[in-house]
Chain A
Amino acid sequence: MIKIAVCDDETMFIDIIVSELKSILINKGISEYAIHTFSNGVELCKLENKISDYQIIFLDINMEQLNGLQTAYYIRKYDKNIFIVFITAFVDYAMEGYKLDAVRFIFKDMLKEMLPECMDAILKRMHLKSGKIIKDFLEGRKEIFVDRILYIESRKHKLYYNIGKPNQEQFSLYGKMDDLEDELKEYNFLRIHKSYLVNMNFLESIMPYKAMMYNGEELPIPREKYKIIKEHFFVEKGDFI
């Protein structure tokens, strides 16, 4: 069930956003959802830790009493994972908005054009965030969120799962890289080498014949694959969600 909050002090905009959201969700075949509306930021803040019930919050920036940015700061105190979307007439507050890790800034006069893409992005992010794998590792049975895997290395018939934040860990099991590549393709993993399957989200840069990870590790790229890997990396950088 997707729970969405829409917070705007102009009822006309609330109505437009809600009806647009409903039609987008129906188009996507999502029937289990709830959309709650709030007419100001204070009302939303009163929920305190119950704010976390919502996965997505649409916030108007220009609200009286507590504006959208102040409300967002408050929300972030309780929950770092909620998808916040700012509804605005202009992006003068953009700099602050990005610090709050907003998914999008949607312009009031372009709601119809921008909302569908925004929901697409959020659903994709939700999918990436919620992906889990349960495996019987040599270290024991583990459940891992896919977005924590930095890369997987194959060595002597074994697959080593390198896990990132909050703490670096490594688990291993016997298996084939080819099968794993198919399994993780939808989570943005790229096979940069016959022995390395990398989570593109942790890939910082590509230089001749090596991939630099955000944690400072360097992984090799074979010469013959370099061009195509570089192309994937650049496209990935240009296609944000």
Chain B
Amino acid sequence: MIVIIQGLILTLFEAFGCIMFFNIFFKARIVYKWSNYLSFFSLVLGFLCVSLLEAENYFLKILLVILVIIVIMWVYYKNYILQIVFLAVGFYALVYAIDYIMVAIIQSLTEGSVWLHPFHSTLLALLCKVVLFFIILLLSRQLNKAGSLNLITDSEWIRFLFFPILTIISLVGFTTVGGGGSAKVALFVSFGLVTANFLLFLIIRDIVQRERNMLDIRISEERTKNQMNMYLSMEDSYEEQKTRIHEFKNQLECMKQLLGAKEFEKAEKYVNGICNSWTEEMNYVNTNHAIINAVLNQKFKLAKSKGIAMVLSLNDLSDVFISDEDLVTLLSNLLDNAIEACEKIIEGNKIIKFRFLIEGVKITISARNPVKDNIHILNNYPVTTKSNTLEHGIGMRNMEAVIKRYGGEYQYSCNDGYFTYTMIFERLIFERHPN
């Protein structure tokens, strides 16, 4: 009975490893939660059936196991069959190689005495499964850049790896030391340890996934905020225009009165006064694009109120092919970050160089600003100084998503006390990939 339970647990571990391995390369096409369990238990069932077969031919059994993996994974991932076959063979080769290497290592450590007690062979099988799990974890971290494991920072990752490594060491210890009276306890502890490893992995994966969902929510909130900003800045300029028209009517009325009364000198003085006040409140930027004008003027005034100058390099932007909403995301985030960095400069030139140019089929948008301290870049994002750590690079991520959508490229760097963020879009590329 115990042997059956042990065999079942080992099969569970192997099926789990198989799914983890496939997840590195493919994304499941069936998204229902039960489909995960179904594919897992189908694999377990398949493996058990093959192991219960009375076939003498060992290679036939291997072929059957690979076939089981291919069929179930093909249903689950619906990917190209050749890729599935390739991965299924790859996975089995990995399992086989690990078994072979571990047996060789343990044999050399114990000089062959390991086979004297069935306890050892069970432990050895268990050890092979933990090593398999460990290697798939490393592969997942290395190859699946978009996967959950890559949201864990390097230091968290090292702390987490401590657990499987410790398990492997303990198992090697148990296997190489003789059986005796404590054998059952050791076996029990070993199974417990390995199960704990898998459970820990599942817990961490879920926590990371939850964090990712929260981040997604924050990003979509930020997008809504950007849209709101756009409407607000449009509304502001509309309100300003309304006030101006109202004022203009009053001023015309006043001039009519003065001219009617032949007070020419007073009228001239009055007109001069109006001209001065108009230029003072005029917008700073005109690019022939209403949204870009609204955002740039808003940011220009904001920067100016903080004693920050903006040097602009612009041309006629009426032909920009980026949607209004995306323009607001790009420009607001880019300039907000630049303004925020300039604010921290205590002395010296608080100047932002902003460029938005259309040159032929290319659009270049960039901002360059001085920084107080050189910015560190961690996990491909500049480390934020915002107090709320959840806001880590949210603006940057939003910009990145927009740039990618339009097939653009971007690059940022921080050298000699200046931070530069540049993005370049190409109209031809965008037209080829409109989504």
Contacts and interface: CB of A to CB of B under 8 A. Distances in A.
Contacts of A205: 362, 424
Interface residues on A, range: 20 to 34
Contacts, number: 88
Question: Chain A: interface secondary structure?
Answer: helix
Given A89-B280, A104-B311, A94 B411 contact: no
B422 A234 contact: yes
B368 interface: yes
A169 interface: no
B286 A237 contact: no
A110 B309 contact: yes
B353 A238 contact: yes
B283 interface: yes
A89 B279 contact: yes
B366 interface: yes
Nearest to A239: B368
B36 interface: no
Interface string B8-39: 00000000000000000000000000000000
A239 B353 contact: yes
Contacts of A105: 312
Nearest to B421: A238
A208 to B, nearest CB: 11
Contact of A62 (B279, B308, B413): B279
Interface stretch (B110-118, B204-212, B313-321): B313-321
A114 interface: yes
A29 to B, nearest CB: 18
Interface in A101-129: 104-105, 107, 109-110, 113-114, 116-118
B287 interface: yes
A55 to B, nearest CB: 20
Interface string A136-152: 00000000000000000
A73 interface: no
A67 to B, nearest CB: 13
B362 A98 contact: no
A234 B420 contact: yes
A107 B300 CA distance: 11
Nearest to B318: A95
A231 B413 contact: yes
Given A114-B351, A205-B424, A237-B366, 10 more contacts: A89-B279, A89-B282, A91-B286, A95-B316, A110-B304, A116-B349, A117-B351, A237-B355, A237-B364, A238-B420
28 contacts: A62-B279, A89-B282, A91-B285, A92-B282, A94-B312, A95-B286, A95-B288, A95-B316, A98-B315, A104-B311, A105-B312, A107-B284, A113-B309, A113-B350, A117-B309, A117-B311, A117-B349, A205-B362, A230-B411, A234-B411, A234-B412, A234-B413, A235-B415, A237-B355, A238-B420, A239-B418, A240-B313, A240-B353
